[in-house]
Amino acid sequence: MISVAGRTRGTVVLALGSVICVLTCCGVLDLVGKANDRQDRRAARAALGGYLTRVEDGDYLAAYQQLCSDVLEDYPETEHVAFLRQQRAFVSYAIGDPTESSGIDGTYLAFPVSLTYVDGSADEIGLVVGLQTDGPKVCDSESWRSGS
């Protein structure tokens, strides 16, 4: 026969076990979320680096194909090529740490990018990467650039 004290002790142990299980699950979910966030940031940085390398090399068609859907809606390739040709040609770049913004349109990472030109001068511009379902895409056009 189980006593009342034994049942109470068992209930307390079961309740504590449940609390520990919930806290452990929350911790695991938090770690998974942080890992996904780091992975998204790495992928966005890599996409932006690939885009900038294509622009630096003058491969504007490949750069255009990396643009986010928000830019592509009413932005033909010829306009993008003309936009890129109006920019000063750079010889190197450095990508800074992004800031994140989320909204109804999705999640975007805004990166500060330092561009170094042939004459040794440098500028910092802002470029945005959209985290889209088909991978990160660069949002680069006159209306998206900041800091230039």
DSSP label of 141: S
Note the pLDDT tens digit of each residue in 72-125.
Answer: 988 999 999 999 999 999 999 999 999 999 878 789 999 999 999 999 999 999
Residue 54 or 148, more confident? 54
Whether the full predicted model's pTM is greater than 0.95, yes or no, is no
Q: How do 135-139 and 106-117 pair as beta strands?
A: unpaired
Q: How do 122-132 and 99-103 pair as beta strands?
A: unpaired
- pLDDT surpasses 50 at 34: no
- Residue ranges of alpha helices (H) inside 57-128 are 60-64, 69-72, 77-86
- Determine the distance from the C-alpha atom of residue 95 to the mean position of all C-alpha atoms in its chain, rounded to a whole number: 12
Write down the residue that tokens 């142990």 correspond to.
13
pLDDT for the residue numbered 14: 67
Q: Quote the percentage of the chain above a pLDDT of 70.
A: 75
- Identify the CA nearest to 90 among candidates 114, 111, 59: 114
pLDDT for the residue numbered 147: 47
At residue 20 the predicted structure's pLDDT band, cuts being 50, 70 and 90, is: low
Q: Which amino acid is residue 11, in one-letter code? A: T
